[in-house]
Structure 1
């Protein structure tokens, strides 16, 4: 397994370590320090902190293809979603909504969709957004974004604000 494939395997397997400094050795092998905390532990800790607060936050459950809107430890909304397919997975982690747009054009190597509704970017080009082009919610089909039925996307868009935490777990 080459070093790029190793990094991809680590990321997909959930074994990628948050805060780790990766070092490429002279032998072409990436080294991960042993003092880093696994992402899963950081996610679990963050979820416990948010549940103990009164803060609004969004949980994306990749395994069960569910999005849950929380206010502290109280679930206020739960829906079936579609996250990234195997070749373009949705990455677990702790994020915050960075930008909200009522409509946006989504483009990639093999897609170009204008007027995507209720877009909330949480990291780079990754977003929670309405999807009018499919009804396969509950199945990973996206290019890494979190696809939500348009009516649910509108509710989330109105409920969440810039800065709202987004916790994505396996």
Structure 2
């Protein structure tokens, strides 16, 4: 019984001393057309984005990513390429765009567009840390 108690205390102590699970948070500001990416609570990146243009909507709220796709093609919008996609709500994703000149102003059908290099970084962070350790927050 003493050995069992000692083992339980040792396991509990080891779990308490284990480092906290890493997290990645992408906070998208629709008004600023920027995303701030924090890693483990520290601002790591701040990039321009393009969100929904007039007539379309980028949803506001907070979500855990649903899935990632290295390369995806939008069936809804003429098979448009969506490299390094991190889907967070239905068909909405943070993904790379070839329209880098539009970054910093609304231009999408609702997704959050990033420069290809930045989208690759964000995609890799989410894949490395895991969907359960990532969050997408979109505010006005």
TM-score category of the 2 structures, normalised to the smaller one: 0.7 to 0.9
Query: Which structure would you say has the larger RCO, counting Cα contacts within 8 Å and 6 or more residues apart?
Result: 2
User: What do residues 24-73 of structure 1 show as CA deviations (whole Å, max 9, x unaligned)?
Assistant: xxxxxxxxxxxxxxxxxxxxxxxxxxxxx963211011110001111243
| Coordinate RMSD, CA, aligned | 1.7
How many equivalent pairs are there? 116
List alignment gaps of at least 5 residues for structure 2.
Answer: 1-20
Q: Which has the larger radius of gyration?
A: 2
List alignment gaps of at least 5 residues for structure 1.
Answer: 1-52
TM-score by length of 1: 0.63
| Residue 122 of structure 2 corresponds to residue 153 of structure 1 | no
CA shift in 2, pair 1:87/1:103, >3 Å: same
Q: Which runs of 4+ in 1 moved over 3 A?
A: none
User: What do residues 6-41 of structure 1 show as CA deviations (whole Å, max 9, x unaligned)?
Assistant: xxxxxxxxxxxxxxxxxxxxxxxxxxxxxxxxxxxx
Q: Which has the higher strand share?
A: 1
Deviates more, 1:144-153 or 1:156-165: 156-165
Where 1:69 maps in the other structure, the secondary structure is: strand
Q: Which has the higher helix share?
A: 2
